[in-house]
């Protein structure tokens, strides 16, 4: 059966306002508990670059998608938007409720320190975002934190693990069994991580090295030491006009896999130049120009969103939204049992984290900093209990 502490009816959260941007409200409903989910009382939340983009049509579509376009009877949290959707994804806190399916596994208990990815800015599940005092997430994807990991660190882990894992083991088809029995000898092959100094990039490096593979990376020269510290075997300067050709030569014209953590037309071009003569697989983290992706018929191109891993309908604009991807749900059910022991034992390191003050008010400031492009190589994290103190005149 489900287990839960007594939870309030409403909470403080960051939601979408009438201008389809961020605002703070104190009357947002606490998420309902689904059988396959947990609820945590958040202690810290992490801000991702993608979070700053989830405004405008991403909010408007959630308000209008509704049950007439997607069967809302497939999950208890699916319904037309009855309240403003809570923003975003990464969070960490204390487990205060878990659905009956999660409780039956015996893996988690009330009071556990948890981090992971919530279902942010989703009109069909408006109360499920992370930027709130209480956040709901899929129980199978909820990560039990190592004893020595702080909430601030944990708040930057969930999305990067899910994204890197889905790209490597689902899209590119590398076997997650290598996490248990790493490749050796002639089994070892090269994988390119473009944009390796990003949060997803540093996680991808770690997962690939745990698989026993050789990791080829691109980043700015100022970040060479950073990516090497996560296990990169070799670094190439993406600013070099011969970057793709240099990687291709280094890999003896035999590179089969490229993960593009930036996913722009110019980065796709370099990845395609790097992939060997016989072709291979390319995975981006955003949609790419189809005509550019078709420029090499021997390369199989794909892109992913970690949000698809729940397999539930998504009301965002095309091509991000869909009626649900059950194959992604099946992948998650197979992938996360490999991750849980690695994470709990401390074998997955965080990205450099910058803890900022003033809680949700400070987070709104952080959105502006990321939109201006002044934050690089760091994950911004905020403590949810903090509030900005406004000085008053004496």
pLDDT reported for residue 125: 73
d(CA 203, CA 226): 12
Percent of the chain topping pLDDT 70: 86
Per-residue confidence band for 136, with pLDDT thresholds at 50, 70 and 90: very high
Q: Determine the pLDDT at residue 61.
A: 35
**Architecture of the domain defined by 3-157+340-383:** Alpha-Beta Complex (3.90)
Mean per-residue pLDDT, 242-261:
99
- Domain(s) of CATH 3.40.50.720: residues in the chain: 172-303
Q: Say if residues 274 and 251 touch (Cβ distance below 8 Å).
A: yes
Q: Taking residues 295-311, report their average pLDDT.
A: 95
Q: Which range has the worst mean pLDDT, 164-168, 237-241, 384-388? A: 384-388
Q: What phi and psi values does residue 32 have, to the nearest 5 degrees?
A: -75, 150
Rounded mean pLDDT, 313-323: 82
Q: What is the mean pLDDT of residues 43-56?
A: 74
Q: What is the pLDDT of residues 199-223, one digit of tens each?
A: 999 999 999 999 999 999 999 999 9
For 21, counting Cβ atoms within 10 Å of its Cβ (0-12 exposed, 13-18 middle, 19+ buried), the class is middle
Does residue 21 surpass a pLDDT of 80? no
Class for domain 172-303, per CATH? alpha beta
Q: How far apart are CA 392 and CA 373, in angstroms?
A: 32
Minimum mean pLDDT among 59-63, 231-235, 257-261, 287-291: which range?
A: 59-63
DSSP string, 24-92: EEEEEEPPPPPTTEEEEEEEEEEE-GGGGG--THHHHHHHH-HHHHS-GGGSTT--S-SSPPBP-SEEE
- CB 16, CB 84: distance < 8 Å: yes
Q: Which residues are 300's β-sheet partners?
A: 281
Per-residue pLDDT at 8: 97
Reply yes or no on whether the pLDDT at 377 is more than 80. no
Q: Cis peptide before 319, with omega less than 30 degrees from 0? A: yes
Residue 74: its pLDDT value, please? 42
pLDDT of the residue at 371: 80
Mean pLDDT value of segment 158-164? 97
For 234, phi and psi rounded to 5 degrees? -155, 150
Q: Does the reported pTM lie above 0.85? A: yes
**Stretch 60-89: mean pLDDT, rounded?**
42
The reported pLDDT for the residue numbered 124 is 66
CATH 3.90.180.10 domain span(s) along the chain: 3-157+340-383
Instruction: Tell me what pLDDT residue 78 has.
Output: 38
**What pLDDT shows up at residue 303?**
98
Residue % of the chain over a pLDDT of 90:
70
Which tens digits make up the pLDDT trace of 329-357? 999 999 999 999 999 999 999 999 999 99
pLDDT digits over 103-134, tens only?
999 999 999 999 999 876 666 676 778 889 99
Q: Which two tokens stand for residue 383?
A: 């403590």
Task: Please name which of 6, 43, 37 lies closest in space to residue 127, comparing C-alpha atoms.
Answer: 37
């Amino acid at each position: 059966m489900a287990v839960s502490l007594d939870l309030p009816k409403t909470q403080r959260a960051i939601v979408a306002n009438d201008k389809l941007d961020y605002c703070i409200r104190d009357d947002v409903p606490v998420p309902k508990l689904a059988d396959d989910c947990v609820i945590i009382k958040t202690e810290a939340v992490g801000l991702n670059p993608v979070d700053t983009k989830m405004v405008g049509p991403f909010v408007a579509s959630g308000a209008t998608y509704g049950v007439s376009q997607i069967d809302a009877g497939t999950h208890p949290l699916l319904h037309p938007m009855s309240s403003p959707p809570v923003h975003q994804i990464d969070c960490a806190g204390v487990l205060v409720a878990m659905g009956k399916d999660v409780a039956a596994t015996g893996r988690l208990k009330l009071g556990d320190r948890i981090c992971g990815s919530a279902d942010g800015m989703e009109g069909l599940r408006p109360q499920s975002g992370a930027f709130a005092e209480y956040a709901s997430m899929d129980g199978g994807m909820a990560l039990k934190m190592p004893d020595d990991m702080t909430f601030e660190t944990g708040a930057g882990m969930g999305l990067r693990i899910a994204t890197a894992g889905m790209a490597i083991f689902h899209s590119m088809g590398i076997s997650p069994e290598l996490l248990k029995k790493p490749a050796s000898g002639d089994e070892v092959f090269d994988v390119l991580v473009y944009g390796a100094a990003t949060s997803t990039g540093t996680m991808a490096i770690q997962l690939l090295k745990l698989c026993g593979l050789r990791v080829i990376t691109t980043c700015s020269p100022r970040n060479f030491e950073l990516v090497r510290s996560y296990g990169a075997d070799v670094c190439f300067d993406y600013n070099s006009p011969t970057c793709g050709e240099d990687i291709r030569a280094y890999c003896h014209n035999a590179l089969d896999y490229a993960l593009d953590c930036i996913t722009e037309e110019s980065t796709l071009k370099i990845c395609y130049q790097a992939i060997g003569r016989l072709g291979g697989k390319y995975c981006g983290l955003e949609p790419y120009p189809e005509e550019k992706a078709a420029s090499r018929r021997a390369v199989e191109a794909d892109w992913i969103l970690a949000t698809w891993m729940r397999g539930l309908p998504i009301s965002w604009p095309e091509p991000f939204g869909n009626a649900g991807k059950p194959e992604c749900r099946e992948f998650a059910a197979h992938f996360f049992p490999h991750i849980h022991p690695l994470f709990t034992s401390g074998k997955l390191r965080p990205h450099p984290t910058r803890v900022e003050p003033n809680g949700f008010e400070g987070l709104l400031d952080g959105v502006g900093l990321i939109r201006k492009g002044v934050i690089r190589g760091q994950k911004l994290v905020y403590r949810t209990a903090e509030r900005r103190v406004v000085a008053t005149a004496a």
